[in-house]
Amino acid sequence: MKLLTISVPAYNEETMIVPLYERVVEVMDQVKESYTFELLFINDGSKDGTLDQMKALHEKDNRVVYVDLSRNYGKEVAMAAGFDYAKGDALVTMDADLQHPPEVILEMLKLWELGYEDVYAKRNRREGETWLKKATSKLYYRILQKVARIPVLPDAGDFRLLDKRCVEALKQMRESNRYTKGLYSWIGFKKNRSSVRCCPSL
């Protein structure tokens, strides 16, 4: 039995914690013969009832655990806390607002079993974005590629599965001003080239 950590940074997400939990349970039930999971929430200094929701779920289901940051540090630092506290053989990092569909985790697990250590989801289309947003995004990545010594993948977001070895490598990086997308590339490891397609709104 392998343990999968599902790490979720959350800032003012009180209405999303329970729906996300329910979707995750539904998905992980489908593979319960092979995997157990821990749902690791990082409360990033929320001002609403997010922490109470996490506490209540933890009382009910001990697969739910949480880290409560002392203030709002921003998503990148909250994700780093997730790497620090994860116990899994692999970790999936995803947003709390269900813009990353939990069902995609099943596909990610298959690729992990094939030997990929960094499985990333790529958005299908940049739906709902203006031409200006699309154009500036393209330009941003083109400039980034010129100045960075490592390739950073355009359109690949923070919805990904990382093998424990990647998580260990990321834990060595203690930058506080983090650009995690760049760090994923920096650490190397075997990445899936034909990315998992998903999420117009990744």
Given candidates 97, 107, 129, 155, which one binds Mg ion under the rule CB under 5 A?
Answer: 97
Specify the stretch interacting with ligand UDP by CB under 6 A; choose among 8-16, 31-39, 181-189, 192-200: 8-16
Q: Under the criterion CB under 5 A, does residue 99 sit at the interface with Mg ion? A: yes
CA distance 167 to 62: 23
Orientation of helix 17-29 relative to helix 104-113, angle to 10°: 50
The DSSP call for residue 149 is S
Q: Which positions from 113 through 172 interact with ligand UDP, judged by CB under 6 A?
A: none
Task: Indicate the residue type of 152.
Answer: V
Name residue 160's beta-bridge partners. 93, 120
Closer by beta carbon to Mg ion, 16 or else 111? 16
- Which residues make Cβ contacts (< 8 Å) with residue 40, sequence separation at least 6? 5, 6, 7, 8, 65, 66, 67, 82, 85, 86
What is the pattern of x (binds ligand UDP, CB under 6 A) and - over residues 72-101?
x-xx--x----------------xxx-x--
The minimum distance between CB 128 and Mg ion, in angstroms, equals: 12
Contact footprint for ligand UDP (CB under 6 A): 9-11, 13, 44, 72, 74-75, 78, 95-97, 99
